[in-house]
Amino acid sequence: MNIQNIRSFDLAHDELRHINSELHAFNGTDSAGHFRIANPKGVHALACGLDAPLDVEIDGHTGYYCAGMNKSARIVINGNVGQGVAENMVSGEVWVKGDASQSAGATQIGGLLVIEGNASARCGISLKGGDIVVKGNVGHMSCFMGQAGTLVVLGDAGDALGDSLYETHIYVRGSVKSLGADCIEKEMREEHHAELRNLLDRSGCPGVGTDEFRRYGSARNLYNFKIDNLNAY
C-alpha cells in the first residue's frame, strides 16, 4: 500500500476519543483503510468496536481491552497489551507482537488472535469460538470454561489448564503444570493434525510440526450434575 494512503495519529497530541471516533466512522461499511497510531502510552480501550475491514497498526504498548469487540478489522500491536485484548472478538485478526496480560481473548466468538510472546492467566477464558495462538507460555486457568474454538500454545501452560472445559480444542507444545477439572489429554487424530497445521500456517509458524503437540479436551463428566462429582465443581 502506498504510504500516502496511511492515516496517522499520535496519542502524544491526539485525543483517544478522537482516534476511536475516526476509526468508528467506517463501521458498518465495506470501506478499507490503513491507520497507524503512535505513542499509545498504555491507554485503555484503543481501537475497540471496529466493524469494517480496516488495517490498524499500533506502535507501542496498550492498556486494557485493546481491540475489544473487533469485527472484520486487522489490528497489529507492536508492543505489549494489558488485560482483555481482543475481548469478545467476532471476526478479523489481532496480532500482539509482545506479551499479553490476563484474560487475552476472553469470550472470543470468532477471528484469530496471535500473541508472539507470553500470555498471562486465564487466556481464552470462556472462549466461545475463533482461534488463539500463543507463541510463548500461558498462565494458570487458561481456557477456563472454554466452550468452542481453539487454543494453541507453543510454549508451556500453567496450573489448571482447561478447567471446566466444554468443547474448546487445546494444543500444547511444551509442558502442562496441571490440568483443571474435567480436562484430559486426548488422542491426536488426523483431523486434529489438519486443524493445527492450518492454524500454525496462518499464525506464521510453517516450520513447526504438529507431531510436537499434545491435545487436551473435555472428559465430559461435568456436563450434568452428578453427586459423585460434587468435589470437582
Q: Coil, helix or strand for 131?
A: strand
Distance CA 61, CA 187 (A): 39
Residue 58, judged by CB atoms within 10 A of its CB (0-12, 13-18, 19+), counts as buried
The tens place of each residue's pLDDT in the chain, 233 residues long, gives 444 579 999 999 999 999 999 999 999 999 999 999 999 999 999 999 999 999 999 999 999 999 999 999 999 999 999 999 999 999 999 999 999 999 999 999 999 999 999 999 999 999 999 999 999 999 999 999 999 999 999 999 999 999 999 999 999 999 999 999 999 999 999 999 999 999 999 999 999 999 999 999 999 987 766 777 667 66
Note the pLDDT of residue 222. 77
Note whether 71 and 91 are within 8 A (CB): yes
Residue 66, C-beta contacts closer than 8 angstroms, at least 6 positions apart? 44, 45, 46, 47, 48, 58, 75, 77, 81, 82, 85, 86
Note the pLDDT of residue 1. 40
Cell of 25: 466512522
- Overall pTM surpassing 0.85 (yes/no): yes
Place of cell 463428566: 221
Note the pLDDT of residue 79. 98
